[in-house]
Amino acid sequence: MKFPNYKKFANWEYWPSYMFYLPVIPYACYLALKAKSFGFFSAVNPAIEGSGNGLESKYNTVQLLPEKYKPKTIYIKIDDKIPSILTKLETNTINFPLIIKPDIGFRGLLVKKINSEKELLEYLQKYNSINLIIQEFIDYKNECGIFYHRIPGEKTGEITSITLKKYLTIVGNGTSSILELILNDDRAKIYVDLISELNKDKLFTIPFKNEEIVLNIIGNHSKGTQFINGNHLISKELTNFFDSLSNSIKGWYYGRVDIKYHNFDELIKGENFKIIEINGVISEPTHIYDASKGSYFDALKAIKDHWKLIYIIGVKNKKLNNEHFTNLKYLINIYYNYKKYLKKVSELSTK
């Protein structure tokens, strides 16, 4: 089913990612000249492969987290057999539903909630040409992304972005089917192909009046999740918690942490939440995609400001901790490996 996405063209929130990065390339080149290296970003997060350039293992990165904050996670290699995978699930007490996704992934590609062994087997058979991870499903109702940085040598850092995530949801009126409600919702109809596939078994079900139907629980903007600017929630107490987290992960200074939680008061106190991902230099301050709180040019400025932080942290890490900048040849290889892998995963996603 195809639906014209006129709103994607009219609203910059939906523009492709290159529209947010091409304009900043000259500034990034200026920073590279100042650093005397195009690989100045590679010294930012020594704890993460490539400082989190997009080709790092999600499994290895989540292992950096303190035990109490990370979800149960297992690694699935390309050649792992299904009986072995099922045994790993049992050993780690990971039950259905669960989350499965590529070990190297971005923008929610191939991330799926799996509700049964049958669904799991279908997924594994379809995507057996890439390494995967399986995580326990964290059944907390809220999700957010918090962007934090700390300058090497300093004990305290700063939170520069909080993004509250609102899953794509429709509300029943007692007479319309789920499909009709999707097509009549300004946001949902933009993602009609995706969410129709995810909800294909109940498209013609008629929800009760005022019944809320969550259409997708993957907290990614490309999957329909609405990003809401939550910067008003930045506080000294929350920053103190992230200072503690950063100091407990030797070699992580910059990036976004994606969290599932019950309510924000508990999160600030360090209670009832799990960190589902920790990201590095490629991560974004995703509050910029709340078009109601800023303009396209505000978004570009935020990205530029974060590139400046990458430069400051990379240079300081090289000076204080003898970290190394990668050379241009390595960066070119990263680019081509990234494009090659992205093409492979994208092709799998359209199977």
Cβ contacts of 224 within 8 Å, gap of 6 or more: 167, 168, 187, 188, 190, 191, 194, 195, 215, 216
- Cα 229 to Cα 129: distance, rounded to the nearest angstrom: 37
CA distances from 234 to 185, 246, 265, 300, 307 (A): 32, 16, 12, 21, 21
In this structure, what token pair is assigned to residue 69?
């904050």
**Residue 3's pLDDT band (cuts 50, 70, 90):** very low
Residue 251 pLDDT > 60? yes
When pLDDT is averaged across residues 291-312 and rounded to a whole number, the result is: 96
CA distances from 143 to 137, 200, 256, 264, 273 (A): 13, 25, 13, 10, 9
Lowest mean per-residue pLDDT among 33-47, 173-187, 217-231: 217-231
- Cα 264 to Cα 59: distance, rounded to the nearest angstrom: 26
pLDDT, tens digit, 9 for 90 and up, residues 97-110? 999 999 998 777 88
40 phi/psi in degrees, rounded to 5: -60, -25
Give me the pLDDT at residue 9, please: 67
pLDDT, tens digit, 9 for 90 and up, residues 310-344? 999 999 999 998 888 988 788 888 888 888 888 88
Q: Which amino acid is at 60?
A: N
176 phi/psi in degrees, rounded to 5: -95, 145
Residue 144 pLDDT > 60? yes
Give me the pLDDT at residue 1, please: 46
Give the H/E segment covering residue 292: none
Burial environment of residue 69 by CB neighbours within 10 A (0 to 12, 13 to 18, 19 or more):
middle
Contact by Cβ (8 Å): 137, 97: yes
When pLDDT is averaged across residues 18-25 and rounded to a whole number, the result is: 93
Question: CATH code for 72-137?
Answer: 3.30.1490.20
- Cα 196 to Cα 203: distance, rounded to the nearest angstrom: 7
CATH 3.30.1490.20 in the chain, residue ranges: 72-137
**Residue 206's pLDDT band (cuts 50, 70, 90):** very high
Whether omega before 97 lies within 30 degrees of 0, making that bond cis, reads yes
pLDDT, tens digit, 9 for 90 and up, residues 80-92? 999 999 999 999 9
In this structure, what token pair is assigned to residue 248?
């407990």
- Cα 190 to Cα 184: distance, rounded to the nearest angstrom: 10
**Residue 6's pLDDT band (cuts 50, 70, 90):** low
Mean pLDDT, all residues of the chain: 91
- Cα 346 to Cα 109: distance, rounded to the nearest angstrom: 7
| Closest C-alpha to 309, from 33, 21, 18, 45 | 45
**Residue 67's pLDDT band (cuts 50, 70, 90):** very high
- Cα 5 to Cα 14: distance, rounded to the nearest angstrom: 10
The whole-model pTM stands at: 0.91
